[in-house]
Amino acid sequence: MAMSVLGATMAGAEPPKGEPFGKTSRGEPVELYTLKNKGGLTAKIMTRGATLTELNVPDKNGDVADVVLGWDDVAGYESADNQYFGCTTGRVANRIAKGKFTVLNKEYQVPVNNAPNALHGGVERSLDKVVWKAEPFETHRGQGVKFTYTSPDGEEGYPGKLTMEVSYQLTGDNELRIEYIATSDRPTPVNLTNHSYFNLQGAGSPTVLDHEVTIHADKYTPTDDTLIPTGKIDPVEGTPLDFRSAHKIGERIEQLDKTAAIGYDHNFVLNGASGTLRKIARVKDPKSGRVLTVQTTEPGVQFYTGNFLKGQKAKGSKTYAHRSALCLETQHFPDSVNHPEFPTTILKAGDKYTHICVYGFSAE
């Protein structure tokens, strides 16, 4: 179970300090925190959206590159060209069919922003767009920042006052550990995730089609033409979604070009017991030798291959070309709130939502 990492601070340790990162269009000040470890990794996270803005990782030769997509300023993150780069996503990540669900026999309508469905929590006050409070810390694991935000009852149409904390910690084992905790005063759907886009050659490199991917999942959730699950859980065997052994992304992606997903944009039903931290994915870039591993306590992961990246210029004036990054979003299944056969996303009053995701880095 996820635990708050505060209270374990080492005596005499110096937590990271926040630096100004500009203001939102509403005039809210935004801070940026920099985490470092002895392995040469550096992570930067801002208070708007509790967003990972930068992640510098050495390759097999010791050369360091930023491997996540993002922007140089808050204006970039507020622009229409930002496709949830690096943010904390919710209250409900992924899709809700037609933006409708029922809790305790009452139907709720949340904003439809990915017609005909709701996507990633809302329009004006989804978690990626609000400014979180930050509290830096340092423990035996390494430097970190805990972000907190309380979403009032009715925000973006969701019931209940939802109190959340998201802690990022850069460990001495070259892992970026993300822990989520949430409580509510009323039953409400909750499904939080991080929406970082990775290119292990470095953000702005032209493609991820040569990245080799392994996903520990025997099954996936097929969808309709609007990417809402049908309710079935099908085997990956015999499909382009079989990543039980390593495959290059570009090896079979063309088989999905004419599907609704327009490439990989699928929820995988992860092997192993939900609620236990386990390794669920591995990505390797053969050119740089960088390796990304993913661990999670969640039942699913959304594998997405940047099919809607459109050549926008972002950090350092680099261009983010079509399929030049990938996401591995650990989470509950899409539209779970409308599928009682799926693991539930309803958080009851008095219960605690917990979720751990660990992105690990190495080179070979």
pTM of the model: 0.95
Domain residue limits, the chain: 18-363
**Is-catalytic flag, 195?**
yes
CA gap 279, 293 in Å, rounded: 7
Cα distances (Å, whole numbers) of residue 213 to 80, 184, 228, 242, 327: 30, 37, 24, 10, 11
Task: Write out pLDDT tens, residues 287-324.
Answer: 999 999 999 999 999 999 999 999 999 999 999 999 99
Question: Catalytic one among 195, 266, 332, 355?
Answer: 195
The Cα diameter of the chain in Å comes to: 59
**Active-site annotation holds for 216:** no
Q: What distance in Å separates the CA atoms of residue 171 and residue 355, rounded to the nearest whole number?
A: 18
pLDDT of residue 15: 84
Q: Average pLDDT, stretch 201-228? A: 98
Q: Which two tokens stand for residue 81?
A: 């060209």
Q: Are 59 and 290 in contact (CB under 8 A)?
A: yes
pLDDT digits (tens, 9 = 90+) for 169-202: 999 999 999 999 999 999 999 999 999 999 999 9
The class of domain 18-363 in CATH terms is mainly beta
Does the pLDDT at position 6 exceed 90?
A: no
Least Cα distance to 198 among 219, 176, 218, 217 occurs for 176
Residue 62 belongs to what H/E stretch?
Answer: none
Structure tokens at 293: 């591993």
298 closest CA partner among 272, 328, 330, 337: 330
Can you give the pLDDT at residue 5? 43
Task: Give, in order, the Cα–Cα distances in Å from 110 to each of 115, 132, 227, 283, 315.
Answer: 12, 22, 18, 35, 32
* Confidence grade of residue 1 (pLDDT, cut at 50, 70, 90): very low
State mean pLDDT over 332-356: 98
The 10s digit of each residue's pLDDT in 60-69 is 999 999 999 9
Dihedral sign of CA atoms 212, 343, 225, 103 in order: negative
Catalytic-labelled residue, pool 329, 332, 339, 355: 329
